[in-house]
């Protein structure tokens, strides 16, 4: 079969699953926060935390998967672009781990255990400390979240550039 996609070097099935489910978990966690901001219901903040912690576990598994599976060879591009893509992917990994970790620290330093969908509970495993809780709250809200927005927009922008300007089929590697 000689369709244009047949010789695209794809990411492994596991890498593709990790990628898209991470993106969905991020989206759902964010939507729960929007719902909480609009309806001020403890249901939504609880779900925000549970989906956020799920993303933390998912990202830990994803890093392990990344170490043990081979990435496809990069599509041809200038060296600086390849370097930028590697740096920004690395930063995205870091942010997606830091964000839920910091959220969890905010909660436990605030003295609140975290319920995970009623399945189990993460206990307060630190000595509650108001100023530490406030520090993690500021990190969560004012530092890491704006960085996630920025890097995600750059990431999606780069994917669209490959799709519509360079037309090099990059996105199909992750589909
Ligand atoms: C990747 C995962 C996460 C993302 C993207 C995320 C994102 C956000 C965002 C956008 C806000 C609102 C900031 C604002 O506009 O005021 C927020 C607030 C909050 N998040 Fe997360 N969050 C994540 C994980 C978590 C986790 C795991 C927890 C706790 C276990 C948590 C606890 C909270 C709490 C308690 C607030 C409210 C803070 C306040 O009312 O000032 N988050 N989060
Ligand atoms: C419409 C949304 C998205 C599209 C079209 C997209 C597309 C892609 C593509 C094509 C790649 C592979 C690049 C290559 O082969 O060199 C990739 C990798 C990656 N994407 Fe996305 N992505 C999207 C959303 C997201 C989101 C929301 C995140 C997290 C915030 C994310 C994080 C990553 C990371 C960390 C990698 C690197 C994978 C690795 O090196 O293991 N992506 N994305």
Statement: residue 40 has pLDDT above 70: yes
Per-residue model confidence as pLDDT tens digits over 82-105: 999 999 999 999 999 999 999 999
**Top mutation candidate among 159, 169, 175 for ligand 2, by most atoms within 8 Å of CB:** 159
Mind listing the pLDDT tens digit for each residue in 8-23? 789 999 999 999 999 9
Q: Coil, strand, or helix at residue 114? A: strand
Ligand nearest to the CA of 98: 1
Torsion angles phi and psi, residue 121, rounded to 5: -130, 135
Which helix (H) or strand (E) covers residue 103, if one does? Answer: helix 79-109
Nearest residue CA, atom 17 of ligand 2?
174
The H-or-E segment that residue 17 falls in is: helix 13-39
114-116 and 120-122 beta bridge pairing: antiparallel
pLDDT digits (tens, 9 = 90+) for 101-120: 999 999 999 999 999 999 99
Residue nearest to atom 14 of ligand 1 (CA): 141
Domain ranges in the chain?
13-173
């Amino acid at each position: 079969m000689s369709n244009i996609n047949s010789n695209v070097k794809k990411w492994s099935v596991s890498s593709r699953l990790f990628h898209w489910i991470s993106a969905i978990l991020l989206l759902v966690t964010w939507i729960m926060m929007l719902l909480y901001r609009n309806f001020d219901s403890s249901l939504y903040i609880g779900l925000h935390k549970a989906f956020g912690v799920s993303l933390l576990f998912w990202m830990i598994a994803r890093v392990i998967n990344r170490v043990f599976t081979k990435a496809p060879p990069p599509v041809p591009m200038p060296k600086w672009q390849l370097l930028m893509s590697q740096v920004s992917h690395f930063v995205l990994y870091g942010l997606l781990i830091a964000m839920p970790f910091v959220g969890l620290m905010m909660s436990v330093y605030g003295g609140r255990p975290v319920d995970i969908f009623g399945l189990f509970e993460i206990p307060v495993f630190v000595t509650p400390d108001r100023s530490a809780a406030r520090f993690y709250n500021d990190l969560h809200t004012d530092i890491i979240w704006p960085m996630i927005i920025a890097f995600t927009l750059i990431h999606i922008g780069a994917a669209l550039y490959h799709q519509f300007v360079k037309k090099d089929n990059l996105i199909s590697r992750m589909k």
